[in-house]
Amino acid sequence: MANTRLLQLEAKTTIVDASKRLGMPRRDFLQFCATLAAGLGLPPGAEAAVAEAVASKKRPSVIWLHFQECTGCTESLLRAEHPTLERLILDVISLDYHETLFAAAGHQVEQARKTAMAANKGAYLLVVEGAIPTRDGGIYCKVGGQTAIELTRECAADAAAVIAIGSCASWGGMPSTAPNPTGSSGVADVLGKPVVTIPGCPPNPYNFLATVVHFLTFAALPPLDELGRPKFAYSRLIHENCERRAHFDAGRFAMQFGDEGHRKGYCLYKLGCKGPETYANCPTALFGDAGAGTWPVGCGHPCIGCTEQGVGFSKPIHMLSKVKNAEPPQQYPRIVEEQGVGATLGSASLLAAVAGAAAGAGAMVARNLGLSHQAAEAERARAAREKTEV
């Protein structure tokens, strides 16, 4: 809270009113806005603009469609704590259509959607959750007598922006896996134009919230990568920020669930972790506002690559991933090396001097992968001999 401009806003009437509406102390509200600005990668001073926008600008109307999905994306949103869901949909955005959360049903719901679209023409956000079946004219998913294809195209026609939330809407996700009998596709394929994609199964709700707040603050979407993903959330490999990365660099791997390496928190690469080829902010954003370690790898399960097309729901969970970046961030760590077979600082430095730092690091990591396997095999052989002797 050292930002002077942000502190100056604390006494403003709009900030006081906004913090009351959101049920948050003023300092917490300003800290929430500063966190959003930092998460978006905005320059210093932007947090004040975010706070003023959330406090005073008209809430963006949101039309939320559901198709082939498990409602996991909405379930994830339901568990947001900063702010809570009811504050989010009543005070940050105007959720004017959402089949799961609406109390009304039938014709009333469809009329609410049409009314909101007409009143906010060219200004509302369209959010699509779930894949869209395209085979046989899209007859495998209908809402209110319209196919998912028809609804998506109708709602996208006058939307200010289209957001595909979750892997299913982003590129087809789980419903599109072979043999894909319904012809499940992502939103961009159906519309024939790029859309904002927030993949994940489910994605972190704050990636969605931050995208909406950026739109609210600057009347523009955040910078996107070539797949339409917000760069603030999907520009770094999971492998780069993983708390188990040091063990990967030193060649310490869990070989099976429940073994000594798994219990000690060693790298899960050999159990099929897809972190080395998956872009997402899971290790830093975490899930569920439940504290440290609340993401799959932190809980002891390999990343399945759910945010990456061609990885999640395509590669077997325990298939080894393609290591896109094998170079350690600084140097090989000395974390209880005598218990593993990791490279020493001396051997790593010698190799780097001969082959160059980058090539040397990559070669040493590759060597460590083999050494760890050899060590595991040797241990199994020793245990077998002892059992035979007994």
CATH number at residue 291: 4.10.480.10
Confidence at 327, pLDDT banded by 50, 70, 90: low
The whole-angstrom separation of Cα 375 and Cα 331 is: 23
Q: Is 73 annotated as a binding residue?
A: yes
Which structural domain, as residue segments, surrounds residue 19? Answer: 1-56
In a domain, 220, yes or no: no
Q: What is the pLDDT of residues 184-231, one digit of tens each?
A: 999 999 999 889 999 999 998 888 888 888 888 888 888 999 999 999
Q: What is the pLDDT of residues 269-286, one digit of tens each?
A: 999 999 999 999 999 888
Asked if residue 335 and residue 256 are part of one domain, the reply reads yes
The whole-angstrom separation of Cα 18 and Cα 133 is: 41
C-alpha 257: how far from chain center:
25
Q: What is the pLDDT of residues 76-100, one digit of tens each?
A: 888 776 666 666 665 677 888 988 8
Residue of 335, 374, 373 lying closest to 249 (CA atoms): 335
Judge whether 166 and 69 are in contact, CB under 8 Å: yes
Residue of 215, 220, 196, 230 lying closest to 60 (CA atoms): 215
Q: What is the pLDDT of residues 2-40, one digit of tens each?
A: 466 666 676 678 878 777 777 778 778 787 777 777 766
Q: What are phi and psi of 378, to 5 degrees?
A: -65, -40
In a domain, 312, yes or no: yes
In a domain, 350, yes or no: yes
Q: Given 232, 267, 293, which residue is the final one in a domain? A: 232
Asked if residue 382 and residue 272 are part of one domain, the reply reads yes
Find the radius of gyration of the CA atoms of the chain. Answer: 24
The whole-angstrom separation of Cα 358 and Cα 277 is: 18
Asked if residue 42 and residue 32 are part of one domain, the reply reads yes
Confidence at 104, pLDDT banded by 50, 70, 90: confident
| Tally of domains within the chain | 3
In a domain, 134, yes or no: yes
Q: Is 33 annotated as a binding residue?
A: no
44-58, 167-181, 246-260, 301-315 — which is least confidently predicted?
44-58
Asked if residue 373 and residue 254 are part of one domain, the reply reads yes
Q: Is 70 annotated as a binding residue?
A: yes
Q: Is 82 annotated as a binding residue?
A: no
Q: Which pairing describes strands 61-66 and 94-98: parallel, antiparallel, or unpaired?
A: parallel
Asked if residue 372 and residue 307 are part of one domain, the reply reads yes
Give the E-state strand segments of the chain in sequence order.
61-66, 94-98, 125-129, 132-133, 142-143, 146-147, 161-165, 184-185, 196-198
Asked if residue 293 and residue 208 are part of one domain, the reply reads no
Rounded-to-5 percentages of helix, strand, coil across the chain: 50, 10, 40
Asked if residue 319 and residue 206 are part of one domain, the reply reads no
Q: Is 141 annotated as a binding residue?
A: no
User: What are the b/e assignments for 108-120, b being 16+ CB within 10 Å?
Assistant: ebbebbeebbeeb
Asked if residue 353 and residue 248 are part of one domain, the reply reads yes
Q: Is 155 annotated as a binding residue?
A: no
Asked if residue 52 and residue 62 are part of one domain, the reply reads no
